[in-house]
């Protein structure tokens, strides 16, 4: 660790360039391209876990599903004991669902609403010889048609896969479906939680440090950590879900550990020069983050190989975030605090 | 070491450890369905309801899933339309049964002479514990009897409706009169629909009612028209001459657009009904059961007895008010009888759902998968701990420091588990992840403490060992409070989001134990051993 001596010197302000660039890069990866996938927890959708001993080729499954069913947001992942399919929904039911929503919204305008319901049934290939006089009845018929369609759809999909891949007898399916409405309920609670967490963190940090610049630096570092984790999620296709959201929150808890330590050591009165205090803090901080990262990496690997989805998502988010925290704390937070100390006339 | 043990911080840690271990041994850890195997059901209601209503629905569902209160099922509403159920069951036939029980709306109605005399909502209690309740051998058959108590208003209505509803038809050898009585018709989840029964079906039903069906608990000699009258539903007897325009169907359409038709109703009639705006459902025949019995969802038909109808008094003012009535049925064997009794009891006790269930989707984790999850996470914990020790040793090269860090981490795990056992909160995958996360922040804090005390500002003359320990405690206090602050909203806003809540609980408990118990003790230990 003695290599680190002299890490902070006269040139310390230059360090800030790195986190500044990272802010932009992480935000781009997380929100623009490739973007974070949303899990079925939040969007609604279907997940099918196929347990089969038969050797299969993931890209073959993918192409069969794409060709035969035109699924959107389809992902097929190989697992230790088979494979896992996720799709948001097939285009027909998505289209029908949209039409049904329009029919619901336009119930007052009878002929328009009936027309929407009729179109929804047309999309689902449901014969519509009946002429409806009552928009509610038309809507109900369309809703029933959609429910039937979905049920037949997933069964056909499974049958097709068993047949084309020759999965034979020893195959079992585990199916999980989250309805879009439940998904949006989860999504709303997720946003609510994130908002309140942010407010509480800001309150706690300000309550402890009572100075604008150090407190802001800590909060800025937490934001960079979360962006780093989100960029990692986008790159490794880890969805925003009921498991990854609390992990993102927890990341704030982890990242402030080192920030608070650093801030406390740099802002207290001391006879030791600030550069040296910063370097000492860095040694402590790297040990903290290092132990955590090492332990989390072990969790990440084990959960990846044994398909423990919840733990995999949580561990991955924390690992990416803590890597980001190394930059946030030592390249951003420390220089900001050193600059702050300098302004206040402290001894560097 | 002696002064160390005398220190109160360390005594507190020791005491907490002993208490935690005792609680774990006595209460036992509750494992979630991730580890034990089990099923999550996601129930969607037909429409959004108020938050009072949804908690009522949740409690009804809870009672239906777990009437005895012995299974550990958790039923939690999410938003205003969804209810999520976690239960330990993994057997698919048992799950089917539970699912169908949840799906039943549970509207129970009794009618006499075509009038509703009471509904399930007016039943105050089922006398489960009374001697009259249960299954009893009755000749070759097994009879089940379910006594229940009506509220006073319903009991009075029942008394008025049944008064003198028996007629003496003859006298037996000893001169007591033999009565012929009216029947009470019980319906369970009677459909809200128009019923259309074909001519052929009608006559075959008449024959089937004449003989009855003991297997299916259908008494012999039921008059089909009387049954239809008591159902209070619009039932059309369809034959070649029927013209639907003769019926006032447009007023009916306001209430329901569903028609249930028997299999012999011709296609032309079905199309005619669809043109009027009805959705047509064809109900198939069940062998040996009159079609109309299933179409009307008849639960039971029971003949009144002269004791109930107050034949012994002349005027209704002298009639005795009976609040305890019984429903009974027969089955060929004990198991079926017990099942019938149990199902009806559960539905009557839980009451009816104010809003019907639209769909149920479920996910099951088999106990063997859960078992392997359990062993994986144990390994994960052990490996993580070993890695932490290696990193600490590499950094400080002081084995006497690594040992307290490991021991402190372990005590945090044990005490947190003790609190979970005390609160009877389930330990599932998310909670486990929370535990690891909490212990992770714990290790961070211990490194801060160790560093502050060992190195601190070596050259700083102002700082005594005690100030350094205080510095360290300030840092870990701020860090832990932020963690708690971040996790707290998860508890408040995510009712029913089981995964989120389990994670948040363990992190918060772990962090609190850290700042209150283990970390102060660790600081003391490090001060002494350095």
Q: Decide if pLDDT at B304 tops 80.
A: yes
What is the pLDDT at residue B457?
A: 47
* Cis, bond preceding A34 (omega within 30 deg of 0): yes
Question: Quick check: B505 contacting A, CB < 8 Å?
Answer: no
B443·A280 Cβ contact <8 A: no
At B197 the pLDDT is 94
Q: What is the pLDDT of residue B195?
A: 93
Backbone phi and psi for residue A33, each to the nearest 5 degrees, phi listed first = -145, 130
> Is B471 an 8 Å CB contact of chain A?
yes
CB contact under 8 A, A295 and B474: no
- Which residues have a Cβ under 8 Å from the Cβ of B121 and sit 6 or more positions away? B351, B352
Per-residue pLDDT of B421-451, as tens digits, reads: 999 888 888 899 899 888 888 898 888 888 8
- The pLDDT of residue B199 is 92
Quick one: DSSP state of residue A264? H
Helix, strand, coil percentages (3-state) for chain A, rounded to 5, are 70, 10, 20
Which residue out of B249, B440, B443 would a mutagenesis test of the A interface target, given it has the greatest number of A Cβ atoms within 10 Å? B440
Q: What's chain B's average pLDDT?
A: 85
Residue B77 confidence (pLDDT) = 85
CA dihedral B192, B119, B129, B104 (to 10 degrees): 10
Split at pLDDT 50, 70, 90, the class of B140 is confident
**What span, in angstroms and rounded, lies between the C-alpha atoms of B497 and B31?**
17
**Could you give the percent of chain B with pLDDT greater than 90?**
18
Predicted pLDDT of residue B417: 94
DSSP string computed for B299-326: EEEEE--TTTTTTT-SSGGGPPP--EEE
Q: How far is CA B333 from the centre of its chain?
A: 28
pLDDT in tens, chain A (348 residues): 677 787 888 888 889 999 999 999 999 999 998 988 888 888 878 887 776 777 778 888 888 888 888 776 788 877 666 777 888 767 788 788 888 888 877 878 878 888 888 888 888 877 666 667 677 777 777 777 777 787 778 778 878 888 877 776 666 666 677 777 778 878 888 888 888 988 998 999 999 889 999 999 999 999 999 999 999 999 988 888 888 888 998 888 888 888 888 988 888 777 788 888 899 889 889 999 999 999 899 899 988 887 788 899 999 999 999 999 999 999 999 999 999 988 887 677
Residues 6 or more apart from A325 whose CB is under 8 A from it? A221, A224, A225, A228, A254, A255, A258, A289
Local structure of B292: helix, strand or coil = helix
Residue with tokens 């009806």: B344
pLDDT at B499 (0 to 100): 65
Q: Tell me which chain B residues have a C-beta less than 8 angstroms from the C-beta of A242.
A: 497, 499-500
Task: Please state the ipTM of this predicted complex.
Answer: 0.80
Q: Which residue of A has its CA nearest to B471?
A: A264
* Whether residue B57 has pLDDT greater than 80: yes
Query: In Å, how far are A147, A242, A249, B21, B414 from B499, measured between CA atoms?
Result: 28, 7, 14, 26, 21
Q: Which residue of A has its CA nearest to B473?
A: A261
Percentage of residues in chain B having pLDDT higher than 70: 95
* Best of A110, A113, A147, A249 to mutate (most B CBs within 10 Å, chain B): A249
CB B85 within 8 A of CB B41: yes
Question: What are the pLDDT digits (tens) for B448-506?
Answer: 888 888 765 455 556 677 777 788 888 889 889 999 999 988 888 765 566 678 888 89
CA dist B510 to A118, A273, B160, Å? Answer: 57, 36, 65
**pLDDT score for A154:** 74
Tokens 């420390």 belong to A334
> What's the pLDDT at A63?
84
Residues of A in contact with B375 (CB under 8 A): none
pLDDT at B26 over 90: yes
Q: How many CA atoms lie within 13 A of B424 on its CB side?
A: 5
Q: What is the pLDDT of residue B213?
A: 85
Within 72-111 of B, beta carbons closer than 8 Å to A belong to 78-79, 81-82
Query: Average pLDDT of B35-62?
Result: 86
Place of tokens 């079609």: B291
Its sign, for the CA torsion B7, B10, B12, B14, is negative
Task: Please tell me the number of Cα atoms within 13 Å of B134 on its side-chain side.
Answer: 7
Smallest CA-to-CA distance from A320 within A7, A30, A15, A20 is with A30
Look at A325 and B277; give whichever has higher pLDDT: A325
Chain centroid to Cα B118, Å, comes to 26
Weakest-pLDDT range from A180-194, B154-168, B175-189: A180-194
CB B285 within 8 Å of CB B161: no
**How far apart (Å, rounded) are the C-alpha atoms in residues B140 and B145?**
16
Structure-block tokens of residue A197: 């967490």
Query: Where are any strands of DSSP class E within B247-369?
Result: 258-261, 279-282, 298-303, 324-331, 357-365
Interface with chain A: mutation pick from B482, B491, B492, highest number of A CBs within 10 Å: B482
Give ∠ CA B43-B47-B48 in degrees, rounded to 5: 90
Cβ of A287 and B391 within 8 Å? yes
Q: How far is the first Cα of chain A from the last one, in angstroms, to the nearest whole number? A: 21
**pLDDT-based confidence at residue B1 (cuts at 50, 70, 90):** very low
Minimum Cα–Cα distance from A274: chain B residue: B457
CA distance readout (Å), B377 to A301, B383, B390, B511: 12, 10, 20, 21
Tokens (6 digits) for B148:
């229940």
Tokens standing for residue A67: 């060709």
Q: Nearest-CA neighbor of B530 among B456, B479, B463, B474?
A: B456
Q: Is the pLDDT of residue B131 over 50?
A: yes
C-alpha torsion sign, points B499, B504, B505, B511: positive
C-alpha closest to that of B197 among B289, B140, B265: B265
Residue pair B487/B508 in contact by the 8 Å Cβ criterion:
yes
Closest Cβ–Cβ partner in B388, B483, B499 for A291? B388
Beta bridge partners of B110: B118, B186
- Alpha carbon distances (Å) from B298 to A132, A230, B155, B359, B379: 32, 58, 22, 24, 57
Nearest CA in chain A to B82: A182
């Amino acid at each position: 660790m003695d290599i680190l001596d002299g890490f902070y010197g006269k040139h310390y302000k230059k360090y800030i360039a790195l986190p500044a660039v990272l802010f932009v890069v992480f935000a781009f990866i997380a929100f623009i391209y490739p973007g974070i996938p949303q899990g079925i927890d939040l969007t609604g959708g279907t997940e099918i876990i196929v347990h089969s001993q038969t050797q299969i080729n993931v890209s073959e499954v993918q192409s069969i599903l794409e060709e035969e069913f035109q699924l959107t947001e389809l992902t097929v992942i190989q697992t230790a004991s088979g494979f896992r399919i996720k799709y948001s929904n097939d285009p027909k039911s998505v289209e029908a669902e949209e039409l049904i929503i329009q029919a619901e919204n336009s119930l007052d305008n009878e002929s328009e609403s009936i027309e929407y319901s009729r179109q929804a049934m047309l999309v689902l290939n449901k014969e519509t010889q009946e002429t409806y006089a009552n928009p509610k009845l038309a809507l109900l018929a369309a809703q029933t048609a959609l429910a039937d369609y979905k049920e037949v759809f997933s069964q056909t999909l499974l049958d097709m896969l068993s047949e084309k891949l020759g999965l034979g007898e020893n195959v079992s399916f585990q199916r999980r479906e989250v309805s879009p409405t439940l998904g949006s309920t989860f999504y709303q609670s997720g946003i609510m939680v994130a908002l309140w967490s942010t407010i509480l963190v800001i309150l706690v940090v300000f309550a402890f440090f009572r100075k604008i610049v150090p407190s802001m630096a800590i909060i800025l570092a937490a934001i960079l950590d979360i962006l780093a984790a989100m960029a990692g999620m986008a790159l490794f296709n880890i969805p925003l879900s009921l498991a990854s959201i609390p992990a993102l929150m927890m990341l704030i808890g982890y990242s402030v550990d080192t920030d608070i330590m650093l801030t406390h050591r740099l802002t207290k009165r001391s006879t030791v020069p600030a550069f040296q205090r910063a370097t000492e803090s860095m040694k402590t901080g790297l040990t903290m983050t290092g132990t955590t990262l090492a332990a989390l990496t072990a969790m990440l690997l084990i959960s990846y190989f044994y398909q423990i989805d919840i733990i995999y998502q949580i561990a991955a988010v924390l690992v990416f975030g803590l890597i980001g925290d190394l930059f946030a704390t030592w390249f951003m937070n420390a220089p900001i605090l050193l600059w702050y100390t300098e302004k206040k006339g402290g001894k560097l | 070491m002696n002064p160390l043990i005398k220190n109160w911080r360390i005594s507190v840690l020791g005491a907490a450890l002993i208490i935690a271990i005792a609680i774990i041994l006595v209460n036992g850890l509750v494992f979630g369905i991730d580890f034990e195997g089990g099923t999550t059901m996601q129930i969607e209601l037909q429409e959004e309801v108020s938050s009072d209503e949804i908690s009522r629905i949740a409690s009804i569902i809870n009672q239906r899933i777990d009437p005895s209160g012995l299974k550990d099922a958790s039923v939690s509403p999410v938003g205003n339309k969804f209810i999520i159920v976690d239960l330990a069951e993994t057997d698919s036939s048992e799950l089917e049964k539970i699912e169908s029980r949840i799906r039943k709306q549970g509207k129970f109605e009794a009618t006499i002479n075509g009038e509703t005399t009471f509904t399930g909502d007016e039943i105050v209690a089922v006398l489960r514990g009374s001697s009259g309740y249960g299954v009893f051998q009755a000749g070759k058959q097994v009879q089940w009897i379910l006594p229940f108590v009506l509220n006073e208003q319903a009991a009075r209505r029942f008394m008025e409706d049944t008064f003198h509803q028996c007629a003496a038809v003859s006298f037996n050898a000893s001169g007591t009169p033999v009565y012929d009585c009216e029947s009470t018709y019980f319906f369970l989840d009677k459909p809200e629909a128009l019923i259309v029964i074909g001519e052929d079906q009608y006559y075959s039903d008449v024959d089937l009612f004449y003989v009855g069906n003991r297997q299916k608990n259908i008494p012999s000699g039921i008059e089909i028209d009387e049954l239809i009258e008591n159902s209070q539903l619009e039932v059309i007897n369809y034959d070649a001459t029927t013209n639907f325009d003769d019926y006032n169907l447009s007023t009916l359409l306001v209430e329901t657009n569903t028609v249930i038709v028997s299999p012999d109703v011709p296609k032309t009639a079905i199309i005619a009904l669809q043109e009027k705006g009805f959705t047509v459902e064809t109900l198939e025949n069940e062998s040996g059961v009159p079609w109309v019995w299933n179409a009307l969802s008849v639960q039971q038909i029971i003949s009144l007895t002269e004791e109930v109808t107050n034949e012994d008094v002349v005027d209704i003012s002298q009639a005795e008010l009976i609040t305890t009535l019984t429903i009974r049925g027969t089955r060929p064997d004990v198991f079926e009888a017990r099942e019938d009794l149990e199902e009806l009891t559960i539905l009557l006790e839980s009451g009816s759902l104010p809003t019907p269930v639209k769909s149920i989707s479920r996910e099951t984790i088999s106990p063997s998968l859960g078992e392997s999850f359990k062993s994986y996470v144990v390994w994960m914990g052990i490996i993580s701990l070993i890695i932490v020790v290696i990193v600490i040793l590499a950094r400080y090269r002081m084995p006497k420091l690594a040992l307290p860090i490991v021991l402190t981490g372990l005590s945090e795990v044990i005490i947190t588990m003790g609190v979970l056992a005390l609160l009877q909160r389930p330990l599932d995958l998310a909670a486990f992840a929370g535990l690891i996360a909490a212990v992770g922040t714990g290790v961070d804090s211990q490194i801060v403490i160790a560093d502050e005390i060992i190195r601190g500002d070596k050259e700083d003359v102002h700082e005594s060992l005690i100030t350094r320990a205080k510095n360290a405690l300030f840092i870990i206090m701020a860090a832990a409070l932020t963690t708690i602050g971040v996790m707290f909203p998860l508890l408040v806003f995510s009712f029913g989001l089981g995964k989120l809540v389990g994670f948040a609980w363990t992190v918060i408990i772990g962090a609190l134990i850290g700042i209150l118990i283990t970390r102060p003790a660790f600081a003391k230990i490090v001060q002494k051993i350095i």
